[in-house]
Structure formats: C-alpha cells, structure tokens
C-alpha cells in the first residue's frame, strides 16, 4: 500500500492538524500511547498532535543520550511545559557511551546509537509502559524508495527487538508520513512550535567528533559548539558547527610545547543543503571565535575555518 | 673554549667575508673539502665562502631526499650555476622514504631524517670523497647553551658515525659560528645570494604532513604547497604553508560520497616568529586557493584556514 504525498504548497495546516488529531484519537481510543521526543521538528510535531488527541493517555519520553548540546534536554522540557505537555527525561548516558566505546568508524557510531536507542532504551520503555500504541515522526523522505504499510511496521518492531509474533496488538502511528520536511515545518509553525531551527544531525554531537567518543571529548565539543552557536547566531547563515578533529597539532601553553587539539569551524550559506558555500565572516568574527575557544576550552590550541564549498565538501565532516 | 658573538649590527660583511675566505683557505691548504648544501641561507653562504676560498678543491653536494618542494633541487643547482659553483645532486629518495616508513610520531620522523642524512648518506660521501675538511653552516643559535670547540667536533663525528679515533686528521670548519640568522642574511645579501626567502623547516615537507610519510602523500602536499605559495606570494606575509591532515572527512566526488583528505592553510603575520597572527586574507583569495587545491589535487575534499594566533598555536603544525 502506497503513501499519498501532501506537498507543502497544497498542505492546509489547520485541516491537517484537525484530521491527524481525530485519527490518533480514534485509533488509540481508551488505550495508552507512548512516543520519544528528540527535540527535532518531526518528533516535536508528533508530540503536540498526540498531546492534543490523547492528553494524559500519551506518555512522552525524552531520552538523554549524553550526546546533545548544552541545555538541550532542559530546553525541550521547557518548550513543551508551556503547552502543558509533560516530558519525562530518561537518563541513558551510560548506555550510549558504553555502546560507543572504542569505535572510530562513523557508520558504526551511527549504528551503535540507533541500536542503543531502539534495542536497549526505548524498547524497555515501550514494554514497561504497557502502551500498545507508538507515535512516530516518520516523514515521507524517510521511506523514499522503501516499502510502506505493514512491512514497515515489521521493521519498526525489528528495530525495537520485539518479536513480530509477540507484537500482536501493537500499533505504530505515523501522522507525518505524507509530508516532507517543509510541510512538517509549516505544521510546526501552525502549532506554535519553534520551526526555524538550524538543522542538527541525528547522531547529535557524535557527528561532530572525528575519532573515538568519550564523555570528555563530547563535553569538549559541547563547549566549542555553544561558543560557536553564540558567536555566529547573528550571521543569518544556514548552518554553523564546530568539529573536533582527531589529529593533534603542536601548540604553546604556559611557555611549553604541547600536543593539543584542533577545532574546525564550518559556517554555511545554503538554500537547501544540496550545495553550499562558506559564509563570508569578518576577520574580527573569526578571530574572536577562535580566541574564545582556545581560552574557554584550553585543550584546544588550534582553530580553523572551512573555506571549501559543497561539493566537493559536505555540510558535516563525518 | 667559547665562541665570540658578532651581532648583525656590528657585523662588517665585507671584512667578515674576506676573513672567512682567508681562514678556510689557510686551514684547507692543498687539501680537499666537502660540504652539503640544503638550499637554506646558512649552507648557501657556507657554499659561497668555500667556493671563493677553495674553488675546485671544494665539492658541494645537494642531497635530494625526495621531501623538498617542487623544483627545489633544480632551483638550487641553477642559483649556484650563475656563480660558477657546481652542485652535485645526490638522489637519496629511497633511503629517506625507507627510513620514514610507518612512522607517525613527529619527533621520530625528524630523528629518522637526521640519522639517514648523517649516518647513511653524507658519511658515505665524506668517506668516498677522501676529503678531510667538512664545511658546515652551524650558527651560534644552533649551539646556544651547548659546548663549543673540540667537544662539538666529537658530536659531528658521532652524528656521521665516524669513530673519533679514526677521525684523526678530519677537520670541521664552521665559518658562521659567530653569527645569528640576521647576521647570516646580511652576509648572504652581500654575497649576492637570495636572502629574503620564507623560513622553511629542516624536515622539509615532512613537517607539513600529519601521519605516515609515503611518496604519494609527499607528492600531494608538494602540489598543495606549490598552489599555496603561488596564490599567497603577493600577501607579503611572514610565512604561509599547506598542511596535510591525517583525519579524513566526507566529501562528494561525481555525485558520490567519498572519504577524502583535508588540507589546512596557515598564513602568518609576524616579526620574528615568536608571536604571530593569521594574515587577514580576502574571502576571494581564500576561496580561490581552496578551489585550486580541490581541483588540482582531487584527493582533497576539504580546505581550511587557520584563525588562531601563536600562542597558543605554533607556526608549524607538527
């Protein structure tokens, strides 16, 4: 069974919201539902739709994997509190750091995060909650060129490590399956949610660290990211980021030669991320940014700025 | 026995040159002498002084270690040809690449280069030539806080792997021992030599490669260095360089995701290299430089520009 696309242009947000609320409500009935909120626009919209449809029959979890930016879990909690939505924050930092131990291959890092999320953390919440309805923020782009319908649901259970035999009775609800990102942003706006945030990768700060992932290296890139987002907030750029390199370079600290860390800054001008050019930052902005990083994150002795367009570069480094 | 410094201010270049020519001539007498020319200002000045003092009694070798910039061996040969000085180019690429195989530690790379130069290549030339007089471009800065005189000569024999017992009869001649770099540059100018060249590290392009050294990686940084020196020649900067990183980053080539190489550009404004700031290059200069590198060196998908001052950075990365 195929999925009928609703383009952003033809989307009537008011009608869409009403319809999805009604469908969720009808599907769940007197049951209970569960969803995981990441803070991204897709899961935020699903959380709001679910809340409007189900109220207290929906439990929304925010899984703190320890890989987020400064204040992100609290920021998400606060944003939803103003709509009366209670978000339960689950501390799963240990599980995620353990699963990432020693891995340097970017694909394997992504896989470790996905596996830990589904198989270790979320599946336990699903089972313990007793909920039979899962709300998911899948969008059309996620299933492009793949199958829709029943087979997809099998996939979700597989990811959760739930035996499809035992999954009898579970239902996956995907209210955004007909939309693409621009459509979801329109719905977010209509719901009063923040909808203009900078894109941020799924594997969070792990996508900004070359080499092994440790709590210390994540804390370091978290600090550099906070400084970068602070200093570049007024640029109007499409996306900006700090990247922790694995290569060390010589530096001077207290008059002594040290072998220190490097941070690369990327700041992109782009319409749709398909092509992009480095933002023309002033010399002063670049110098201030570098000075703050080497001062506030003293393990870092070198900061560089990307000057390559995409292609042949890509937005993210890994 | 100490060495009496001659400062650049008090240096009378004409008198100095005359005196050193006389001393070399008196010391060598009817013997034969040998020296290694690297193309740097110290060994260039020594070569000219030796040539003026000894003519054909001096043999000057240029050891091509395969780690130099584009056209360097030929450039040095040509520069001295115009003074009637014949430079013998010795192809020792294999010896140097073999000694560097698999080494990633920067200190060990430097040590491998030094050992190969003295113990494997130059010592053979010294012995085979039958010359008992070695001209060396040692300057006062090289021996700061170390011993002068006979003990130093022991060190040189040790470096050459020549038993000090058997070294009886060998003489090391160091005409520049009383000068520092600024003094040497004054003498170079007076001799009609190029004296205003950008500083370049002893380990040559090896100092510009993070990670293992292979002929392929050296060829790659050689190309990037040539482009960088070409594009930044008019900046009037103190020093500029390209650095090949070990970390790979994602890129796009022919519409496909690749895991490509990164080049970092550093361009420094400085008086004396003790402190330095990144040169304020125009956006267009940076973009043109990056575009040329990713086009002419297609293994590279990302180019960055250093925005950190020294300290906490250093001029070179390794």
- Distance CA(A205)–CA(A31), nearest Å, equals 36
Q: What angle (nearest 5°) sits at the alpha carbon of residue A120, between those of residues A115 and A122?
A: 95
Query: Quick check: B191 and B48 in contact, CB under 8 A?
Result: yes
Three-class SS state of B258: strand
Residues of chain A positioned with their CB less than 8 A from the CB of B257: 314
Band (pLDDT 50/70/90 cuts) for residue A273 is confident
Residue A292 in this model has a pLDDT that exceeds 80: yes
- Distance CA(B111)–CA(B159), nearest Å, equals 11
Q: What is the predicted pLDDT for the residue at A145?
A: 47
pLDDT, mean over chain B: 91
CA A6 to mean position of chain CA atoms: 24
In sequence order, what E strands does A102-162 have? 133-135
Q: How far is A69 from chain B (nearest CA, A)?
A: 22
Q: Is B46 on the interface with A (CB under 8 A)?
A: no
Question: What backbone torsions phi and psi does residue A280 show, to the nearest 5 degrees?
Answer: -80, 85
Band (pLDDT 50/70/90 cuts) for residue A17 is very high
Q: What is the predicted pLDDT for the residue at A3?
A: 79
Cβ distance B304 to A307 less than 8 Å, yes or no, reads yes
Q: Retrieve residue A132's tokens.
A: 């039979």
Q: How far is A87 from chain B (nearest CA, A)?
A: 36
B 51-70 → A contacts, CB under 8 A: none
Residue A188 in this model has a pLDDT that exceeds 80: yes
Q: Which of A180-184, A268-272, B153-157 has the lowest mean pLDDT?
A: B153-157
Residue A247 in this model has a pLDDT that exceeds 80: yes
ipTM at complex level: 0.88
Residue A49 in this model has a pLDDT that exceeds 90: yes
Band (pLDDT 50/70/90 cuts) for residue B145 is very low
Residue B143 in this model has a pLDDT that exceeds 80: no
Q: What is the predicted pLDDT for the residue at B198?
A: 82
Query: Quick check: A55 and A85 in contact, CB under 8 A?
Result: no
Please write the tens of the pLDDT for every residue from B209-226. Answer: 999 999 999 999 999 999
Q: Which of A191-200, A246-255, B39-48, B282-291 has the lowest mean pLDDT?
A: A191-200
Please write the tens of the pLDDT for every residue from B240-283. Answer: 999 999 999 999 999 899 999 999 999 999 998 889 999 999 99
Residue A23 in this model has a pLDDT that exceeds 90: yes
CA dihedral A291, A292, A295, A300 (to 10 degrees): -80
Residue A153 in this model has a pLDDT that exceeds 90: no
Q: Retrieve residue B9's tokens.
A: 């201010």
* Nearest-Cα residue of chain B relative to residue A314: B251
Please write the tens of the pLDDT for every residue from B165-222. Answer: 566 668 889 999 999 989 999 999 999 998 777 888 888 999 999 999 999 999 999 9
- The model's pTM: 0.89
Band (pLDDT 50/70/90 cuts) for residue A197 is confident
Q: How far is A124 from chain B (nearest CA, A)?
A: 35
Cβ distance A250 to B316 less than 8 Å, yes or no, reads yes
């Amino acid at each position: 069974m195929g999925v009928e696309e609703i383009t952003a242009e033809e989307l009537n947000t008011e009608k869409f919201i009403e319809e999805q609320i009604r469908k969720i409500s009808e599907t769940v009935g007197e049951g209970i539902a569960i969803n995981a909120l990441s803070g991204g626009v897709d899961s935020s919209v699903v959380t709001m739709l679910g809340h409007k449809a189900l109220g207290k029959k929906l439990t929304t979890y925010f899984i703190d994997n320890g890989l987020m930016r400064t204040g992100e879990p609290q920021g998400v909690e606060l944003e939803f509190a103003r709509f009366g939505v209670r978000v339960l924050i689950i501390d799963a930092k240990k599980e995620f750091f353990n699963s990432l131990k020693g891995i340097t291959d970017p694909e394997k890092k992504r896989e470790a995060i996905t596996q830990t999320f589904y198989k270790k953390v979320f599946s336990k919440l699903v089972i313990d909650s007793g909920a039979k309805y899962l709300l998911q923020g899948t969008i059309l782009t996620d299933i492009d060129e793949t199958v829709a319908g029943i087979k997809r649901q099998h996939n979700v259970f597989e990811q959760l490590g739930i035996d499809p035999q035992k999954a009898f009775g579970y239902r996956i609800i995907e209210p955004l399956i007909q939309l693409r990102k621009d459509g979801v942003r329109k719905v977010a706006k209509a719901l009063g949610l923040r909808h203009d945030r900078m894109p941020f990768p799924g594997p969070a700060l792990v996508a900004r660290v070359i080499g092994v992932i440790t709590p210390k290296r994540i804390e370091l890139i978290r600090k550099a990211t906070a400084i970068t987002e602070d200093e570049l907030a007024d640029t109007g750029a499409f996306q900006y980021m700090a990247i922790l390199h694995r290569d060390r370079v010589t530096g001077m600290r207290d008059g002594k030669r040290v072998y220190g860390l490097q941070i690369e800054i990327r700041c992109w001008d782009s319409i749709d991320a398909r092509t992009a050019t480095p933002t023309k930052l002033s010399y002063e902005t670049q110098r201030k940014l570098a000075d703050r990083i080497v001062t506030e994150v003293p393990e870092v002795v070198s900061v560089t700025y990307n000057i390559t367009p995409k292609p042949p570069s890509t937005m993210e480094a890994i």
